[in-house]
Chains A and B, each alone.
Chain A
Amino acid sequence: AQRVTQPEKLLSVFKGAPVELKCNYSYSGSPELFWYVQYSRQRLQLLLRHISRESIKGFTADLNKGETSFHLKKPFAQEEDSAMYYCAPRGSQGNLIFGKGTKLSVKP
């Protein structure tokens, strides 16, 4: 069964500090992985997908198949980055399998 683990429920950092939100997955076959972000009381938005290997809002994520990880990183956190972040592989039927989410709080 496909599973995803986000070990940190809450991550609190100061503005300007580096941030890493951890994600580990178990998946048979080639996974397709996403990071979604949910700002306070807003809809979920796609942040990154591993296939595109792009940087959005300063965030990057590298798929490490050896460690089965897809950690989300940003070198300098901003207050507006405060949100819930969800790591999600795509399931075999196309749905997203969400981790429990990590709440990122960036303090001034």
Chain B
Amino acid sequence: DTAVSQTPKYLVTQMGNDKSIKCEQNLGHDTMYWYKQDSKKFLKIMFSYNNKELIINETVPNRFSPKSPDKAHLNLHINSLELGDSAVYFCASSQTGTGKETQYFGPGTRLLVL
């Protein structure tokens, strides 16, 4: 009964390839996020969606494109992968307007670009 799940857990690929990471939450939350954790363990927001609408789009290369087919899913597609994209990508979700708004994180997708 995982609340926030991501697939795949590990992704090893060559430079120049295109890959997708999927995220699903079964908490009924209306907001989902993508965070990137670099090799120094620094976490930074990339995108957030609220009810399938893009809310935050931080300064990330436009090779990264989030897609939210419905409230429960937020996928991340990456074109023309580069070495610097190697990181752990975390998906998270929260419910806005409750006064609590705790973010629940997925297990992370460890991406290695060779």
A positions within 8 Å CB-CB of B: 34, 38, 42-46, 49, 84, 86, 90-91, 93-98, 100-101, 103
Contact assessment for B108 and A43 in the assembled complex, using a CB-CB cutoff below 8 Å:
yes
Interface size class, chain B: 20 to 34
In the complex formed, the residue of B with least CB distance to A90 is B101
Q: How far is the CA of A91 from the CA of B31 in the complex (A)?
A: 14
- Asked if B15 is at the interface (CB within 8 A of a chain A CB), the reply is no
Contact assessment for A94 and B94 in the assembled complex, using a CB-CB cutoff below 8 Å:
yes
B positions within 8 Å CB-CB of A: 4, 31, 33, 35, 40-45, 48, 50, 55-56, 90, 92, 94, 96, 100-108
A42-B107, A43-B107, A93-B56 given; A98·B43 CB < 8 A: yes
Contact assessment for A98 and B42 in the assembled complex, using a CB-CB cutoff below 8 Å:
yes
A44-B90, A49-B102 given; A95·B40 CB < 8 A: no
- Residues of chain A within 8 A (CB-CB) of B50 are 94
Tell me which of B41, B55, B105 contacts A94 (CB under 8 A): B55
Contact assessment for B101 and A100 in the assembled complex, using a CB-CB cutoff below 8 Å:
no
Q: How far is the CA of A103 from the CA of B102 in the complex (A)?
A: 22
10 pairs of A and B residues whose beta carbons are closest in the complex:
A98-B43, A95-B45, A44-B105, A43-B105, A43-B107, A101-B41, A46-B102, A93-B56, A100-B42, A95-B48
- Residues of chain B within 8 A (CB-CB) of A100 are 40-42
Contact assessment for A43 and B106 in the assembled complex, using a CB-CB cutoff below 8 Å:
yes
- Residues of chain A within 8 A (CB-CB) of B103 are 46, 96
- Residues of chain A within 8 A (CB-CB) of B106 are 43
